[in-house]
Amino acid sequence: MDTITTERLHLRPFTSDDAPALFGMFSLPEVARWSGTGTPMQDVSEAYARIERAGQRAGTHPAASLFATERRDTGAFIGMTLLVPIPASGGADRHEHEIGWHLHPDAWGHGYATEAGAALVERAFEAGMPRVYAVTDVENVRSQAVCRRLGMTDLGLTSDWYDQELRAFGLDHP
C-alpha cells in the first residue's frame, strides 16, 4: 500500500511503532465516543491488535487501507483515516466503501479531516469506485460538517450498515 501526501498531511501505512500514539488517542473518551465502540481503549495491546487487523479491515480493493495520519511539517501523529469496505447490516452482501477519520482532539478544528477526506475521495474515484459513503453517529455534528464540506449528500438516518442507526452521506464519482 502506498502513501498519500496532501498540502499539510502525510497518510501512510500503520506500523507497530504507531501503537502508543493510537492508544493515546483512542483512550480518550472524547475520541472513543465517536469510534463505533464508544469505549476508550484500556491498554496499548488493543492498539497493537487494531494495527495487526488493519489489512483484514481494509479488504481486497487495492485503494482501500487504514492510514496513520501525520502532519507534514512536524511529523506528529494526529490520527487515523480510512478507506475501507463498509459492513452491511445483517451480513448482507454489499460491496460499498466508506471514508472516515478519527483524529486526536489537538487536531480538531484545523481542517485536517476535510483535507484527508478529500484525498481519500480522490483515491477512491481514481481507483474506479463509483461511490463512497461516510457514516457518522447521529449526534456527531462535527463529522457531519466534514462530510458536507466534502460535497457529500446527506442520505439521512439509516440502519444499512454496522447494525445500528447512523447518519449516512454519499458522494458519486463525477
How confident is the model over 142-154, as a mean pLDDT?
98
Which region, left, alpha or beta, applies to residue 38 given φ > 0 means left and ψ of -120 to 50 means alpha?
left
Domains and CATH numbers, the chain: 4-172 (3.40.630.30)
Give the pLDDT confidence score for residue 2 in this predicted structure.
85
Determine the Cα–Cα distance for residues 105 and 30; give it in Å rounded to an integer: 8
pTM for the full predicted model? 0.93
Q: Is the pLDDT of residue 41 over 90?
A: yes
How far is the CA of 75 from the CAs of 8, 11, 52, 101, 117, in angstroms? 10, 11, 22, 18, 19
Determine the Cα–Cα distance for residues 153 and 119; give it in Å rounded to an integer: 18
Give the pLDDT confidence score for residue 109 in this predicted structure.
96
Question: Please, which residues bridge with residue 94 across strands?
Answer: none
Give the pLDDT confidence score for residue 93 in this predicted structure.
73
Give the pLDDT confidence score for residue 52 in this predicted structure.
95
